[in-house]
Amino acid sequence: MSMIRWEPFSELMSLRQAMDRLFEDSFVTPSRAFGRLDFTMPVDMYQTENEVVVKTAVPGVKPEEVDITITGDTLCIKGEKKADEKVKRDDYIYQEHRYGAFSRAVNLPAGLDTGKAEASFEDGILTLTIPKSEEVKPKQIKVKAIEGKKEAKK
């Protein structure tokens, strides 16, 4: 009978590799695992002197199918892109376009007049314009020279 030397670090290394594999497998996107492709909409937000503008691309979605809500300082855009029902799923060779429900929530800066927000839709681009309230708009203050006191000191 031959003796085999036990090396605990070799077993720990294999345990570490098993844990790494477990974590890698668990972080697979659930939508891909179940055949759904949900997606996050990219959003551009910028401000001008008088307003904040939010733009996002929603190609293939009709304007009336987009739901926009502002609650507090959170803007939420929701909708659903429906798949072409004329083509069966089994007939696709490639299907890279994403279909299904989408939503995106972003925090808005403070001081907006959300009651006067306007949305427009052109060429698949949703543009939301939210005016700034008067309190947060930059105000120009002119400096006045006081000439009367200067002459009084002489």
Domain ranges of the chain: 39-131
User: Rounded CA gap, 53 and 76, in Å?
Assistant: 14
For the stretch 27-63, pLDDT in tens is: 554 544 444 444 568 899 999 989 999 999 988 888 8
pLDDT of residue 11: 58
User: Rounded CA gap, 122 and 4, in Å?
Assistant: 74
Q: What is the pTM of this model?
A: 0.60
Residues 6+ away with beta carbon under 8 Å from 23: none
User: Rounded CA gap, 115 and 95, in Å?
Assistant: 40
In 3D space, the residue among 125, 108, 140 whose CA is nearest the CA of residue 55 turns out to be: 125
Name which of 27-31, 92-96, 121-125, 126-130 the model is least confident about.
27-31
What's the maximum distance between 2 C-alpha atoms anywhere in the chain? 115
Instruction: Look at residue 149 and tell me whether its pLDDT is greater than 80.
Output: no
Instruction: Look at residue 78 and tell me whether its pLDDT is greater than 60.
Output: yes
Fold of 39-131: Immunoglobulin-like (2.60.40)
